[in-house]
Amino acid sequence: MTPRANTSKLRITLNTTRDREFLDSWAELEVIGATPAGGVERQAATAEDGQMREWFSQWLRDRGFTVEVDRVGNLFGLLEFHDGAPYVLVGSHLDSQPRGGRFDGAYGVLAGAVAADRVRRHAAESGVTPRYNIAVVDWFNEEGSRFKPSLMGSAVFTGAADLEDTLNIADHDGVTVREALTAIGSIGDRDVFGAGEGSRRLAAYAEIHIEQGRELEKDNVSIGLVDRTWAANKYELNVIGAQGHTGATAIDDRQDALLGASLIVVALRDIADEFGDELHTSCGQMTVLPNSPVVVPREVHMHLDLRSDNDELLAAADAALRKRIAEAEIRAKVKVEHRKAHVWPGHHYQPQGVELARTVADDLGVSSMLVQTRAGHDSTNMKEIVPSVMLFVPSVDGISHAEAEYTADEDLCTGVDLLTETLARMLDGALDSAAAERA
């Protein structure tokens, strides 16, 4: 991408003061739930997540936003310019993986909030208000580590998941979403947006995130314009064997649930090797029962995922996996139960959103390129109901879901600038044509 001259109407020349505002807030935010090794641990609706939500709510109120929380714990900061006008929503998630990185999610929420605040100040100073109202969001439980599945808050928001079912999902200790949100005082009794008469309505959505990959870094590009998501098949399996003594039980008599599970983990990698770069396969979670050194395991719970940008290839990989699971059942003398499956098809983001962000990048003289996302994001859900823009900033070595995750200050600040200008243009109706296509 060739840098171009700045033709933005809102563009305020990059300066230290403006970057400093973002970085100072970032410095306050990133210590909440910080771990000794430089990461964070703020799993959904834990005390640390609650502490973060209080800090963020205060940040919003200090700048004139109204704070509301919906029935599944999505936290909104609202700024109304025109009574009854639709809102452009911007945000991401403040929860993290266990021993996760500082940037995943939290960067997008603060970047969105700072972008919204810049628009607010520009409107106050210029006397020219945007056509749409602004809302900032912290989606509940994007990560899905404590409560499964991931993308929980945005899924309920868009109607992809049921509210009551979701509130009754329990964590490993039997605590439900409802109980955990109540414990941190972060659950509302009504929707913040809706379809009914007099409800707040949405016009569009924007989100910025670290890349969680190496494409931008490799090509030395500042902004990724996400045009596609990878499809993801996620499975929860129970491998059922029979408990026995590791010393006394003859090998032929064993029904070894851990052997069955291990054969499946190895099969996942074999299939990835066979299908090539277009396929990612993983098993991230495995729980062994009874998990005693001298007991042949009776049961293993495991979570698998298969992801690809190619739906046909994903279907072929899925079939290959099922064949290998059947073979594992025979060799380990176990039964594999398919407990749950979440299937996210691959999807395109609205091309008008991609084009808008590309134009903004060109106007700001910022390099950009098309990228795909292999990870799921809340925008994956949101693009199904409103035109949505998804932006990436570079992440060093592509490290993610790990404490070593890192993005340079300069890249963070460039992302905030780009998001600000994109948001400003969305607030003036830049994606109305995409919305009209949907209607």
Q: Does 143 bind its own copies (CB under 8 A)?
A: yes
Q: Does 130 bind its own copies (CB under 8 A)?
A: no
Q: Does 432 bind its own copies (CB under 8 A)?
A: no
Contact partners, residue 201, CB within 8 Å, separation at least 6: 86, 87, 193, 194, 195
Other Cβ atoms within 10 Å of 149 Cβ, number: 18
For residue 290, say if its preceding peptide bond is cis, omega within 30 degrees of 0. yes
Q: How far apart, in whole angstroms, are the C-alpha atoms of residue 181 and residue 311?
A: 36
313: part of which helix (H) or strand (E)? Answer: helix 311-332
Nearer to its own copies, 4 or 348 (CB): 348
Among the listed residues 188, 346, 365, 398, the single contact to its own copies using CB under 8 A = 398
Helix (H, G, I), strand (E, B) or coil at 146: coil
Query: Cα separations (Å) of 235 from 264, 285, 373?
Result: 12, 11, 20
Among the listed residues 144, 224, 387, 415, the single contact to its own copies using CB under 8 A = 144
Q: What length does the chain have?
A: 439
Distance of CA 271 to the CA centre of its chain: 26
The amino acid sitting at 99 is R
Nearer to its own copies, 58 or 287 (CB): 287
Backbone angles phi, psi at 298, to 5 degrees: -90, -25
Least distance CB 213 / its own copies (angstroms): 5
Nearer to its own copies, 199 or 246 (CB): 246
Nearer to its own copies, 166 or 212 (CB): 212
Q: How far apart, in whole angstroms, are the C-alpha atoms of residue 76 and residue 113?
A: 10
Nearer to its own copies, 202 or 237 (CB): 237
- DSSP notation for 117-128: HHHHHHHHHHS-
Which residues, 201 to 240, sit near its own copies by CB under 8 A? 211-214, 230, 232, 234
Q: Does 286 bind its own copies (CB under 8 A)?
A: yes
Place of tokens 């329990």: 170
Q: Does 284 bind its own copies (CB under 8 A)?
A: yes
Q: Does 5 bind its own copies (CB under 8 A)?
A: no
Helix (H, G, I), strand (E, B) or coil at 186: coil
Among the listed residues 71, 102, 118, 303, the single contact to its own copies using CB under 8 A = 303
Which residues, 310 to 339, sit near its own copies by CB under 8 A? 331-332
Question: Do residues 82 and 99 make contact, with C-beta atoms less than 8 angstroms apart?
Answer: no
Q: Does 42 bind its own copies (CB under 8 A)?
A: no
Least distance CB 26 / its own copies (angstroms): 21
Among the listed residues 57, 92, 141, 145, the single contact to its own copies using CB under 8 A = 145
Among the listed residues 265, 369, 385, 435, the single contact to its own copies using CB under 8 A = 265
- Joined together, the tokens standing for residue 56 give 């963020």
Q: How far apart, in whole angstroms, are the C-alpha atoms of residue 291 and residue 280?
A: 29
Q: How far apart, in whole angstroms, are the C-alpha atoms of residue 416 and residue 163?
A: 32
Q: How far apart, in whole angstroms, are the C-alpha atoms of residue 115 and residue 385?
A: 22
Among the listed residues 7, 66, 168, 287, the single contact to its own copies using CB under 8 A = 287
Q: Does 38 bind its own copies (CB under 8 A)?
A: no
Q: Does 374 bind its own copies (CB under 8 A)?
A: yes
| Options 216-224, 258-266, 309-317, 362-370: segment touching its own copies (CB under 8 A) | 258-266
| Options 50-58, 114-122, 161-169, 398-406: segment touching its own copies (CB under 8 A) | 398-406
Question: Binders of its own copies: how many residues, by CB under 8 A?
Answer: 71
Least distance CB 435 / its own copies (angstroms): 29
Least distance CB 237 / its own copies (angstroms): 12
Among the listed residues 130, 224, 244, 353, the single contact to its own copies using CB under 8 A = 244
Q: Does 293 bind its own copies (CB under 8 A)?
A: yes
Residues 146, 148, 149, 155, CA torsion sign: negative
| Options 15-23, 264-272, 311-319, 425-433: segment touching its own copies (CB under 8 A) | 264-272
Place of tokens 């059942």: 329
* Burial of 122 from C-beta contacts in 10 A (0-12 / 13-18 / 19+): middle
Which residues, 70 to 109, sit near its own copies by CB under 8 A? 97-99
Q: Does 274 bind its own copies (CB under 8 A)?
A: no
Distance of CA 227 to the CA centre of its chain: 16
